[in-house]
Amino acid sequence: MNIDFPLILVILVFGSGFIWLVDSLIAGRSRKARIEALKERYPNWEAEGSSDAKQLALLVSQTASEPAIVEYARSFFPVLAAVFVLRSFLFEPFQIPSSSMVPTLEVGDYILVNKFNYGIRLPVVRTKVLDLGEPERGDVVVFFPPHQNETYFIKRVIGLPGDLIEYRNKQLTVNGEVVPQEWLATVPDGRSRVKMGVETVGGDDHLMQLDLRRPGRDFTVRVKPGHYFMMGDNRDNSSDSRVWGQVAEGDIVGQAVAIWMHWESVMSIPSFGRVGAIQ
């Protein structure tokens, strides 16, 4: 079962803030009034160790103490609010769960996703409230695939709205122009023979690989308005727009910009050798 962390965070932030606010406006004022009355009753309350100070502390704890739920709300609200703003509007951490973006991203990579490059969206409902930019060809993006709103996917933008994408014999063509490829090596990989190279998409180079023992899936598609065509860099081992279709602009979460840690499992030791920007 997938946990809807953004929704849980929204509930915690606004719930704790509401409790703190209501208490400050209503019950908190009453407690302060009782404490002030007790201070007048015990004028020497400021003298440390005096009988007045002891009696005041006892009566405050009995009749004017802050409820535990209010104390927790007041303590956690600033921290939760900071996490909420950071995660919802600035950067969100994300773990790579599959090998579909190898060799660019490996299973166990922890990345940062920029949430504002493509515009500011409201959390949970994902409605855009401020348009700051659009995905560009070659960007690595995190998104929700069509007809699925529970699990993030991460792929590379190959086609923009209106683009004509063709794939023949494992060679990409965008709007009639062949995407440049430079092959670096061919290596055995278990039951496969992997051909690794550099591909130039959107003017930028990135690593990609093919499985020579798998047949290509040829296609021709025109990208619909307001949609994007996504493909994994592990071209023959990726479930992407070739399988489940084009991604609507409203389902894009943000741009993957950096690797900040690699940690394959709880039984392994985290490493920082792969830290750096994502190409």
100, 115, 195, 241: which is the annotated catalytic residue? 100
155, 195, 238, 241: which is the annotated catalytic residue? 155
Between CA 262 and CA 279 the distance in angstroms is 17
Between CA 182 and CA 236 the distance in angstroms is 17
SS3 label, residue 30? helix
Q: Hey, how many other C-beta atoms are within 10 angstroms of the C-beta on 21?
A: 13
**65 is known as an active-site residue:** no
Contact 175/163 with Cβ under 8 angstroms? yes
Angle between helices 27-41 and 51-63 (to 10 degrees): 160
* Closest CA relative to residue 126, chosen from 70, 97, 88: 88
266 Cα distance to chain centroid: 21
> Could you identify the residue written with the tokens 């946990």?
3
Between CA 89 and CA 170 the distance in angstroms is 38
**100 is known as an active-site residue:** yes
Question: DSSP string spanning 49-94?
Answer: T-HHHHHHHHHHHHHSPPPHHHHHHHHHHHHHHHHHHIIIIIEEEE
Q: Which residues 6+ apart lie within 8 Å of 189 measured at CB? A: none
- For the annotated catalytic residues, the residue numbers are 100, 155
